[in-house]
A and B are shown apart, each in its own frame.
Chain A
Amino acid sequence: MTQTADVRTVQTEAVAEQADERVLVASQWQLVRWRFLQHKLAVISLIVLGLFYSVAIFAEFVAPYDPTEFREELTLAPPHKIRFVDPEGNFHLRPFVHPFEKTLDEVTYAAIFIEDETVMQPLGLFVKGDPYKLWGLFESDIHLFGLQDPDARLSLLGQDTVGRDLFTRIVYGSRISLTIGLVGVAMSFFLGILIGGLSGYLGGTVDMVIQRIIESLRALPTLPLWMALSIALPHDWPVVRTYFFIVIILSTVGWTSIARVVRGRFFALREEDFVGAAELDGASNLRVIFRYLLPSFMSYIIARLTLAIPQMILGETALSFIGLGLQPPAISWGVLLNDAQAIRVLALSPWLLLPTAFVVVSILAFNFVGDGLRDASDPYSHV
């Protein structure tokens, strides 16, 4: 019969016949994942981010000390050298540190910290230390690592201007610094999809008004706008409220670019025949939006969002650094850097700048992940 002959011809014209059956039945998200996994730098960055966020989530456990507990005698103490070899030249499998002994410089009266080589304080995993309540729920005093002697202090990244442990504070600071980007982006995402969607779906006058508003907002320089808005925040507000308003301030500009993308995609997709075909199939407006329009650019939007997070992190850091963002007792990387402003302090205690390294690493990681996602987000562009 002609039918069997036809089937054969159809098979010979197949483009992907040799391709793996897995690819043929792969959904959009699977294709995105495969393409993303080929982007080595993005994968590594994703792992780094995973690590950072785990640290933020389990800050109480990961940080060896309480972030507010200070030891005056250790004010501005430098980072410890972690040692494996004792002064006699014996090798120890378990790393250890020598405690600091503080003296005063006879000329300048500046504090000088000298390691007391007669005492060895070994490090340990899951050591007892300051008591804490994980997420305000679980009481414990076990820390991931620290010195085995609960009264001694390990100065991993140095001590700050009042003798608080800098590493501990960076770990706690990551909570605010890393989440402010996420919350801010979630907010931009919500506003952007809503307003951009309306603009693209309704078109006409609504679209024109929204576009003009977006253009005016984008014409304003970001940092001065943020500064102007945050000056208006009362200084005596509780940390949570300030945090929330900072997020709002950071999102004032962020949503506009997402709204633009959403609007553009709506316009472009409405031209696609498969959307018209769905309408002719009898699909309702909601079905068209949720089954056809949104899934078509969700991956792309997520990639855009990832690229927007670093801006938010930088925004918070910058605002807090110049003293307009979060204020102590809140701890964020920006607040920590605010401490490091005095040149004199910096010259003698450069480790106070270490929070910058964390800012840089997390921002780079977000950028690489975003790049990888963006390249992978439209698997149909190259297939």
Chain B
Amino acid sequence: MTDAIQPAGRGDRAIISVRNLVKYFPIESGLLRRQVGLVKAVDDVSFDLNDGETLALVGESGCGKTTTSHCIIQAQRPTAGEVHFRIGDTRPVDLTKMEKADLKKARRNIRMIYQDPYSSLNPRMTLLQIIGEPLKIHGQVKSQDELRARVSDLLRLVRLDPSTLNRYPHAFSGGQRQRIAIARALSLSPKVVIADEAVSALDVSVQAQILNLLKELQRELGLTYLFVAHNLAVVKYEADRVAVMYAGKIVEIGETEELYTCPKHPYTEALISAAPNPDPDTKNRPRIVLTGDVADPGNLPGGCSFHPRCRYAEDLCKQETPPLMELSAAGEPSHQSACHFADRLSLAGIGAAELTTDRDAA
């Protein structure tokens, strides 16, 4: 608990440190709302988000990615755990213990982009009102003229025509709406942007445009991204590091290239093998098809939650839950995995060449 802020000497670059984050939802039934169980949506999750990096949070639907990001920004209050937030050399503050008024200030620096740009923009407000709303609420503008000027700048920043600021969202396509949502997120000059599947609702061709825009903005503004996605393909171009989630837990976390080329968790291996592979040389590598359903966070199997679907499972996996353990030597970039046999298994990733050609193509 006390090592929360600087664990293993690696927390020094962290802008957000998540420690032992837990979010349980009670399952209620009957007229009297008796609690009959718990959905362990997020179960003891810890990681650091470093200043200026893009960390991708990846996993199948229902594994708790959205809940994790909501618990970081305190849109939902976590059941337990800490979320430390630090700007520059100031003392880290624990967001989970903050009152509403202080949170309002902290949230100026941590902003969110939602998955569905049709639902995340109020159809009854113009771009000026939508993008200007945070500026107004936080008293950042003194006059209507200043507001217009600021919103125009923001529209230019996301490559939209500033003359459109009196239009309503219904005048824009999905990709354009997501740009509007990005402009709103950036209006308060935040340090951290949490993008919850920010491109998965868009057409593939538009996805690349938005991903490029996010990358450019990161360079221009020095942003830090927590990038939530449900498959690895999108993440490849975007992320410096990847955290893989399964059933409310992080099962593997490491640098993107390392994780792709030599995964250390069978679930990561399966995800990599499921991602579309454009490289003809390795096109015929065997696809690992996961059998069985995603673990139900309301009724998790004992031991390692992944064992019923794991090709390599042994008796130990059914009995003991593997902790997230460091695999790389001191001095090397961190690579952690929660598998009993992480150092014994030799799992298939993708060739390093494939990864770089993909990156160049992007």
Contact = CB atoms under 8 A, between A and B. Distances in A.
Q: Which of B114, B123, B172 has the most CB of A within 10 A?
A: B123
Interface string A51-65: 000000000000000
Contacts of A279: 75
Contacts of B137: 281-283, 287
Given A10-B160, A14-B172, A282 B138 contact: yes
Contacts of B176: 10, 13-14
B112 A277 contact: yes
Nearest to A212: B31
Interface in B111-148: 111-112, 114-116, 119-124, 126, 133-134, 137-138
B171 interface: yes
Given A9-B209, A10-B160, A282-B104, A16 B171 contact: yes
Interface in B164-198: 164, 166-168, 170-173, 175-176, 179, 184
A6 B179 CA distance: 12
A10 B112 contact: no
B171 to A, nearest CB: 4
Contacts of A202: none
B111 A380 contact: no
Q: Which of B75, B133, B160, B161 has the most CB of A within 10 A?
A: B133
Contacts of A10: 159-160, 175-176, 179, 209
B119 A280 contact: no
Interface of B is mostly: loop
Contacts of B161: 7, 11
Nearest to A5: B159
Interface residues of A, number: 37
Interface string A258-287: 000000000000001110111111110001
B119 A273 contact: yes
B9 to A, nearest CB: 33
Interface string A11-36: 10111100100011111100100000
A277 B185 CA distance: 9
Contact of A25 (B107, B119, B124, B168): B168
Contact of B107 (A31, A282, A292): A282
Interface in B250-296: none
A148 interface: no
A283 B173 contact: no
B170 A380 contact: yes
B27 interface: no
Nearest to B164: A24
- How extensive is the interface on chain B, given as a class? 35 or more
B171 A281 contact: no
B122 A19 contact: no
Contacts of B167: 24-25
A383 interface: yes
B206 interface: yes
A296 interface: yes
Contacts of B209: 6, 9-10, 13
A26 B159 contact: no
A13 B134 contact: no
B318 to A, nearest CB: 38
A243 B133 CA distance: 46
Contact of B122 (A2, A6, A282, A292): A292
A150 interface: no
A225 B37 CA distance: 44
19 contacts: A3-B159, A9-B209, A14-B173, A14-B176, A24-B171, A25-B126, A25-B166, A28-B123, A28-B168, A272-B119, A274-B121, A277-B112, A277-B120, A281-B134, A282-B108, A282-B137, A296-B122, A296-B124, A380-B123
Interface of B: 73, 75, 104, 107-108, 111-112, 114-116, 119-124, 126, 133-134, 137-138, 159-161, 164, 166-168, 170-173, 175-176, 179, 184, 206, 209, 213, 216
Pairs of residues from A and B, 10 with the lowest C-beta to C-beta distance, nearest first: A24-B171, A273-B120, A282-B104, A273-B114, A274-B122, A24-B167, A15-B173, A281-B134, A6-B159, A273-B119
Given A15-B172, A274-B120, A277-B184, 19 more contacts: A3-B159, A6-B213, A7-B161, A10-B175, A10-B179, A11-B161, A13-B175, A14-B176, A25-B126, A27-B126, A273-B115, A278-B122, A278-B133, A281-B134, A282-B108, A282-B137, A282-B138, A379-B170, A380-B123
